[in-house]
Every structure is written in C-alpha cells, then in structure tokens.
C-alpha cells in the first residue's frame, strides 16, 4: 500500500512538472513557462515617466516581432507596480507590443530589483542571470549581449 502511495505521489509530481509553471501577463492572460524553454528571456523594466524607456519601446517591439529568429522572448515589467486597467492604459499609451508581466520576476531569477531605469535583465536558457544592462538599450545592444 505504501508503494502505491509513493508511486502516485511521484507520478503526480512529474505530471505537475510537465504542465509547467504558469505566468500571468498584465492583460490577465496566462502562459506556460515551458513555452519559453531554450530561449533567452529579455526582461525590460520601464515606467511611463522614464523618457529613455519610452525611446526603447520601438526597438523592443521590433525584437519581439523577430524573437523567433533571435531565440529570445521579450518581456516587460512596469517599475511602478501598476495593475489592471491602470497598467493596460499605460501599455496602450506607450504602444508596448511585447508581453508585460503582471508581477516582477526578480525573486524567481535571483537578481536585485533595479534601482535605475531603464534596466534590462537577460536570463539564459538555463534560467540564470546572463547579464544586467543599465541605461537605454537598442535591438543591436541586446543582440550583442547574447552569446
């Protein structure tokens, strides 16, 4: 009986792993972390009041559009921790076309919350911090930071 219980626990834990961890996006939709396996995550911290952040957005929209070709996933994080309609309003005004996370992933990946904007954190396919870029970035500077 004990073996059956242990086997059920093992199967249950493996099946939970196979479904993957869910990530909530700013619009309330959810996606699986497994959809991003094997790719670099480019996590950009931005705020509406940050002029350099506003200048980065078109470059990051382009990266998002060409993400498959570059093997990366472009993600945004609102520095001011806005939620719901307020966050969606800012995303619309700033014309952000890449996914924005509903919560800050810094604890998940083990880096400190940025103190300066803009800041872009690159997470490796192995889910380690590959590089932290402080200051305005371009598509070229992001691609240059990838191996």
Determine the Cα–Cα distance for residues 91 and 76; give it in Å rounded to an integer: 10
* CA dihedral angle for residue 47, residue 49, residue 52, residue 58, rounded to 10 degrees: 60
Question: 117 CB contacts (<8 Å, ≥6 apart)?
Answer: 45, 46, 47, 50, 52, 53, 79
pTM: 0.84
3-state secondary structure of 114: coil
pLDDT in tens, the chain (147 residues): 333 333 333 333 333 333 468 999 999 999 998 889 999 999 999 999 999 999 999 999 999 999 878 889 999 999 999 999 999 999 999 999 999 999 999 999 999 999 999 999 999 999 999 999 999 999 999 999 998
Q: Which CATH superfamily is domain 37-145 in?
A: Glutaredoxin (3.40.30.10)
Position 70 scores a pLDDT of 82
């Amino acid at each position: 009986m004990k073996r059956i219980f242990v086997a059920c626990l093992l199967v249950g834990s493996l099946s939970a792993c196979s479904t993957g961890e869910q990530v909530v996006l700013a619009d309330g939709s959810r996606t699986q972390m497994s959809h991003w396996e094997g790719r670099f995550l480019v996590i950009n911290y931005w705020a509406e009041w940050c002029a350099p952040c506003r200048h980065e957005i078109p470059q990051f929209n382009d990266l998002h559009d060409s993400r498959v070709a570059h093997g990366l996933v472009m993600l945004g994080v609102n520095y001011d921790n806005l939620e719901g309609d307020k966050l969606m309003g800012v995303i619309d005004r700033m014309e952000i076309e890449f996914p924005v996370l509903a919560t800050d992933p810094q604890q998940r990946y083990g880096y400190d919350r940025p103190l300066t904007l803009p800041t872009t954190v690159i997470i490796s396919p192995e889910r380690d911090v590959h590089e932290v870029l402080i200051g305005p970035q371009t598509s070229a500077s992001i691609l240059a930071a990838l191996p």
